[in-house]
Amino acid sequence: MKLSSRRSPYLVAAGVLSILFGLTGAWSEPARTIKIVVPYPAGGTADILARILGEQISRTEGVTLLTENRPGASAIIGTEAVSRAAPDGSTLLITSTAFLIAPHLTKLNYDPLTSFEPICQLVSTPIVVIVNSGSPYGTLADWLNAARAKPGSLTLASIPGGLSRIAFEMLKRAANVDIAFIPYAGDAPAVNALLGGHVDRGLLALLRGCGPVEGGHVARTR
């Protein structure tokens, strides 16, 4: 896939991953086993960060950190599971901007502002447009021109309910094109769809796109 070296407001947006735990009481004695819930499939940006974090903390603090992937419903399934966990600090959530966007899209069984206690922001990463290296659309301009010539026929894979969907809608409006949004539960299945030629473009966090880009299978859009 190809990534753009120039950042535009509708091609690149800041994606934020944070860590939180469910809150209905106080954090007392630290648990010897801590579970990190990732509301996305394995292999994506949040999953990679959770496993790196777990390895580092386990080694330095002498506790066991387990990563549990609970994808689905635009990250709501995993998030709700953490909101119902015991408020003892033994269940953590690594989440993204979808955490705060979800309440504006659907009714939730938890309150993002009162059901959790934020711990820290982990990373801020750009969102980039990527394309299969075998695509006939080598540049963003090529792809947008093709979209104008064939409205509704081209596709873009990404994760619904977060900044990437907002960035996609901004791109469509700014470029005046009709492109189909194909939702995937996480970065990893979206990349697999792109590599398999099932979609024309992907809009993903830069961290997840780096591996395929470095391997030459996909490239950043110019």
Tell whether 11 is covered by a domain: no
What are the backbone dihedrals phi and psi of residue 211, each rounded to the nearest 5 degrees, phi first? -60, -55
pTM above 0.95, yes or no: no
Residue 214 inside a domain? The answer is yes
Q: What is the mean pLDDT of residues 126-144?
A: 87
The two tokens of residue 129 are 């447009």
Tell me whether residue 149 is in a domain: yes
39/130 same-domain check: no
Segment 74-123, tens digit of pLDDT:
999 999 999 999 888 889 999 888 898 999 989 999 999 889 988 888 88
Q: Into how many domains does the chain fold? A: 2
DSSP 39: S
Based on the fold, state whether residues 101 and 134 are members of the same structural domain: no
Whether the CB-CB separation of 70 and 36 falls below 8 Å is answered with: no
* Predicted pLDDT at 111: 92
CATH of the domain at 38: 3.40.190.150
In a domain, 9, yes or no: no
- pLDDT tens across 193-202, in order? 988 999 999 9
Domain that holds residue 100: 16-124
